[in-house]
Amino acid sequence: MDWMTWARENTDPDQASWKPEALSDVLVLDCSTGSFAGLYASSLLAEMGARVIRIEPPEGDLARKMTPFGEFIQGTGLPYLIEGRNKEHITLDRGQSQGATILKALAKKADVFIETSPPGWMEAHGLGYAALSELNPRLVYVALNTFGQSGELSDTAKKASWHCYDTVAQALSGFVSTTGIPESMTAFPEHTRVPTRMGNWMGWYAGGAFAGLSVMTALYVRDLTGRGQFIDISPAEALMCLNNYALHFYHMTGQVIERPGNIEPAAHPYCYVRCKDGMLFLAGYADPNWKALCSIIDRMDLVDAYPTVKDRTDPQKAIEIIAEIEKFTLQQTREELVALWLAYKGPGVTVAGEILKPEETIELEHWYERRALVKITEAPWGELLIQGTPVKMSETPPRIKWVCRKVGADNEYVYLDLLGYSSNKLAQLKGQGVV
């Protein structure tokens, strides 16, 4: 059997329900508040089969309200619908002492505890790692906050009760300072030539991914030692780790990597250029490949003007080169340009690829074949299109079992199952505003 057929047959997401789940013996409590870093971390675990109990305050978590232009379905925002996957949703006011007591009872049974409160908040309510690990030494406890759980900024965040926000993490990480259009590209309006945040919640996702990895690592260690541990993840630091060589290089040379627009400072052209109907990715940076690129746009004069890699990666010259290439590309569409590059048969290798707008990306069949995007119809939300999982696995494939649940939808089952609460007791707690 050829490789691709084998790979497809053995990792087909539609066959997932015939296979076991890697984390089916793991119970996770996700107490995150208004942070998709926590929610993404628990999604990773839930997709791999962990039982994730999502604990919200009685009125629902702030994260349910985070949604563009006020788009809600039945009171829940779009991002939360996506990140509610496979989780059982219960409510609990952990700020009340009775709520805190109940949370401790749940933590006694749990393997993993996720929280994103301001530093010190959990301790102040008797729910910090020290308290919970005394009840349950096997607990893996991950605290996610932009400023971390120690250090002078953390002390400030503790005093000022600063929550875990994506934009703040992006700024603090150094990532924003290396993203965006540089001052020197004067063709663009002044207010657009500034340090720029990533359009998505990159800080939160980075933090969530580091938290997921750290939790899995701690669970692995726990199998050997019998003990859980405390994990301190700062989404800002996670994103800092993903910012190429900026820090390493500064330490060695004292040079600060500045935001380069769509240019790669270490290889040029390896960049985006503008064309008639959008942008195009272009690569042709080694000398023979640069020649190939120049020959396609019929500008062999540029080969002489910028003959070496050193010439081309000079920041000022790099911008000049873009301007020269764009004289050509701005006259044509992405489709025409890609066809032109594919038709090139001369020496050297140069690559062109179209930059898509989201409404174009969403049309690509590939994502649907691989269930990277999935359509699910589920009450009470209706028909939705959400992201699937970016990985296919042969033995324990990740999967999406349900999209999301309403606030408190699983109260009855979870409280009965884990703590033996009768419906009378639950009604009483509800009356007191605890659940």
Partner 1 sequence: MTFRSMEELFEQGEALKGVRILDITRIILGPWASTLLAELGAEVVHVEIPGAGDLLIRAVGPQGQFPRNISPGMMCASANKYYLAVDLHKPEGLDLIKRLAASSDIIMENFKPGTFDKWGIGYRQLRELNAGIVYLSMQGFGNWGSLATRPSYDAYAQGITGLAEITGFPDAMGVKSSAWIGDFLSGTVAAFYTMAALYHRKRTGKGQFIDLSQAEVLLRCMDWTWLYGFLKKKRRERFGNRDMAVVPSCIVRVEDGFVALAGFSEAEFEGLCLAMNRPDLLVYKPIEQRLVEAETIYEAIETWARTRKTGEIRELGERHGFAVAQVMNVKDLHQSPHFNQRHSIWKFDDPLWGDLCYPMALHLADTPGRIRWSMRPVGFDNEYVLRKMVGCSAAEVAALYENGVVGRWNEQMAFTKPPVGWDGQQGLLFRE
384 binds partner 1 (CB under 8 A): yes
27 binds partner 1 (CB under 8 A): no
Question: Residues 6 or more apart from 408 whose CB is under 8 A from it?
Answer: 56, 58, 89, 90, 91, 435
Return d(Cα 134, Cα 115) in angstroms, integer. Answer: 18
Radius of gyration of the chain, Cα coordinates, nearest whole angstrom? 26
Shortest separation between residue 224's beta carbon and partner 1, angstroms:
9
Shortest separation between residue 255's beta carbon and partner 1, angstroms:
7
Return d(Cα 386, Cα 372) in angstroms, integer. Answer: 8
Strand 72-73 with 76-77, pairing: antiparallel
Is-contact 62 33, C-beta < 8 A?
yes
The one among 95, 137, 151, 346 contacting partner 1 by CB under 8 A: 151
Q: Total binding residues for partner 1 by CB under 8 A?
A: 177
396 binds partner 1 (CB under 8 A): yes
69 binds partner 1 (CB under 8 A): yes
The one among 58, 126, 348, 353 contacting partner 1 by CB under 8 A: 353
Return d(Cα 111, Cα 50) in angstroms, integer. Answer: 10
Shortest separation between residue 125's beta carbon and partner 1, angstroms:
17
76 binds partner 1 (CB under 8 A): no
Is-contact 199 269, C-beta < 8 A?
no
Shortest separation between residue 118's beta carbon and partner 1, angstroms:
9
Shortest separation between residue 207's beta carbon and partner 1, angstroms:
9
Dihedral in degrees, nearest 10, Cα atoms 45, 122, 132, 410: -50
113 binds partner 1 (CB under 8 A): no
Of 188 and 413, CB closest to partner 1: 188
146 binds partner 1 (CB under 8 A): yes
323 binds partner 1 (CB under 8 A): no
Please report, as a single letter, which amino acid is at residue 31. C
Q: Could you say which residues in the range 231-290 bind partner 1, by CB under 8 A?
A: 231-234, 236-238, 240-253, 255-257, 259-267, 270-272, 274, 278-279, 281, 283
The one among 131, 221, 416, 419 contacting partner 1 by CB under 8 A: 221
Q: For residue 67, which phi and psi values (nearest 5 degrees)?
A: -160, 145
